[in-house]
A = this chain, B = another copy of it.
Amino acid sequence: MYTDRFGTLVQKLRLLPSVGSKSAQRMALHLLMRQRTGALELAQALQEAIEHIHECSICHSLTEHEICDICQDTERDDGLLCVVESPADVFAIEQSGSFKGKYHVLHGHLSPLDGIGPEEVGIPYLVQRLSQGQIREVILATNATVEGQATAHYLVESCKHLPIKITRIAQGVPQGGELEYVDSHTLHQALTHRLPLNQSS
């Protein structure tokens, strides 16, 4: 029913995350019927991205150069290192504009059942980076999921021989969060780590 090349296109579009066969067919038809020039531009953008974008040799985020812009930035604090699970987290934190140190991107999180241990996640390389003595505080900003928490816990164990302050990003009620819809674990964290608002508290 499909032509060969249409079938191939649908199959390759399914490589995209969260794209099933129906969505892939819809995308293929949309490109062929309404975005033929755009489809060629997308093809070229894909080729150029794969050819030129790779991991930064220092922080493992994505860059088009040997070392990424953030690692090269001399105005950022070299003593403060934020550890995240993926380049997407670097983008998210940068968008918040609230961090002016450097980053270290792990390859995801520990997941022993999937055979993903400290080596696969790149923890030995991180510990080696921390051992060089330039960093005074490491902020663990892995996700607040079970795996992210386990990874943060493992990192604390791995770094406890180093003279470095280790912190974890705060957990609590998100901005705009209505208490009645916040899960009980989050509420527990928010109450346990409540902050003083006046002198005498």
Residues of chain A at the chain B interface (Cβ within 8 Å): 1-6, 8-9, 11-13, 15-18, 23, 25-33, 35-36, 38-50, 52-53, 62-64, 69, 86-88, 91, 94-95
Complex CA–CA separation, A83 to B95 (angstroms): 49
Number of copies: 2
Give the distance to chain B from A136, nearest Cβ to Cβ, in Å. Answer: 25
Look across to chain B and name the residue whose beta carbon is closest to the beta carbon of A65. B3
CB-CB under 8 A for A49 and B16, given A87-B33, A94-B1:
no
Give the distance to chain B from A7, nearest Cβ to Cβ, in Å. Answer: 10
CB-CB under 8 A for A5 and B48, given A41-B12, A42-B13, A62-B32:
yes
Complex CA–CA separation, A5 to B53 (angstroms): 8
Residue from B40, B91, B94, B95 in contact with A46 in the complex, judged by beta carbons closer than 8 Å = B40
CB-CB under 8 A for A50 and B45, given A5-B64, A29-B86, A63-B3:
no
Contacts of A13 in B (CB 8 A): 42, 45
CB-CB under 8 A for A62 and B12, given A25-B91, A50-B40:
no
Complex CA–CA separation, A16 to B9 (angstroms): 13
Contacts of A88 in B (CB 8 A): 25-26, 29
CB-CB under 8 A for A8 and B48, given A15-B31, A35-B15:
yes
Complex CA–CA separation, A69 to B3 (angstroms): 9
